[in-house]
Amino acid sequence: MESVVDIVLLSFLCITVVAIVYIRKLFCAIMLLGIFSLLSASLFVTMDAVDVAFTEAAVGTGISSILLLSALALTHTREQRPPHQPYIALLVVVVTGAVLIYGTMDLPRFGDPNSPIHRHVAVRYIADSPHEVGPPNIVTSVLASYRGYDTLGETVVIFTAGIALVGLLGFRRRQEFKVRLYQPMDKKTSYAENSTEDGDEFEDNIKLPGANHMVLRIVGKMFIPLILLFALYVQFHGDYGPGGGFQAGVIFASGIILYALIFDVETAMRVITPKGLRLLAVAGVFIYGGVGLVCMFLGGNFLDYNVLSAHPLHGQHLGIFLIELGVGINVFAIMVIMFYTFANRKRGSV
């Protein structure tokens, strides 16, 4: 039964990829990319990799679709035809693909207990992580404790991406921002009361996303707190179930982005200011690195949480809690910064 599910999901995956390659409308391509991520997330679930599936669903389907769409608002919505026939590119792709398929011949079969990956360090993780690190979710202990360096690297990569984007596109000048800030709010909401057939009135309203969507606003108000609450649950429950800093940061950010989409970016910027976000992004990385440094000052190795408390397990617990918090804050801040940066630029101003 499981193999049937696998075959169906994998064939859908292939169809989606072919469609993404062929389609020229970038909007459709972004939607298909979202579907692709959702299908891969389902595949991860069938492989029992729920943490990875959760990340894929939150990042691939959720936030990257929004970020790509807001990037699309700056460019053309159709992919341009290349000026020449891309035969060389096709050759390169075919050769690379053939090499990759040849490479899979040597890989061990899926789920083979004798494959190196199951005999190297995994044995120790499974056997010793409950009394070495503590959390019931082994993925969390591997990610945050055994492989703390790698996770620090990932956090810094996200941070760097955010810095690079802000450096390339930048925030809008503050002067312009202030002018829009103090516009009277009544005009935006007036559409619901006097829903006239008047074209001009409508034109005035259409500029503001979500201004005439009363239902959307109410549902947004109902659900955004719940989304933020769920993000906190994912953040602090990561030791026990699937979840952790990355997913929580992304979910929290998507709550804020939803707010920005429904109630206008300027309104969201008054709640979460760009300056505060930049501070938060730095603070996230700082918390992570700081925990490592504190460990060194207390006489351990970098990111060796055992020394953080009298009892090694408590130290591990505290260390994992703190670095997950750092990851969550950093990811949240960078994601919202990316959205703000894209949303603040007008079409064609790149």
Partner 1 sequence: MDLNIFGNILDILTALFLTAGCFLGISGGIGLYRLPDFFTRQHASGITDSACSFAILFALMLQSGFTMVTIKLFFILIFLIITSTTATHALAKTALFKGQKPLLGREDNH
Residues that bind partner 1 (CB under 8 A): 202, 206, 212-213, 215-216, 219, 222-223, 226
Cα 254 from Cα 332, distance rounded (Å): 9
Question: Between residues 154 and 201, which has the closer beta carbon with respect to partner 1?
Answer: 201
Question: Between residues 7 and 229, which has the closer beta carbon with respect to partner 1?
Answer: 229
Output the smallest distance, CB 186 to partner 1, in A.
20
Q: Which of 343, 183, 182, 171 is nearest to 274 (CA)?
A: 171
Beta strands in the chain (DSSP E): none
Output the smallest distance, CB 317 to partner 1, in A.
24
Output the smallest distance, CB 56 to partner 1, in A.
18
Question: Between residues 89 and 219, which has the closer beta carbon with respect to partner 1?
Answer: 219
Could you say which DSSP state residue 155 is in?
A: H
Question: Between residues 103 and 199, which has the closer beta carbon with respect to partner 1?
Answer: 199
Output the smallest distance, CB 70 to partner 1, in A.
17
Output the smallest distance, CB 219 to partner 1, in A.
4
For residue 282, give Cα distances in angstroms to 249, 262, 279, 305. 14, 28, 5, 22
Question: Between residues 9 and 216, which has the closer beta carbon with respect to partner 1?
Answer: 216
Output the smallest distance, CB 138 to partner 1, in A.
21
Cα 235 from Cα 309, distance rounded (Å): 22
Question: Between residues 142 and 250, which has the closer beta carbon with respect to partner 1?
Answer: 250
φ, ψ of residue 25 in degrees (nearest 5): -80, 120
Taking the CA atoms of 114, 119, 120 and 122 in sequence, report the sign of the dihedral they define. positive
The secondary structure of 239-272 as a DSSP string is TTSS--HHHHHHHHHHHHHHHHHHH-HHHHHHHS
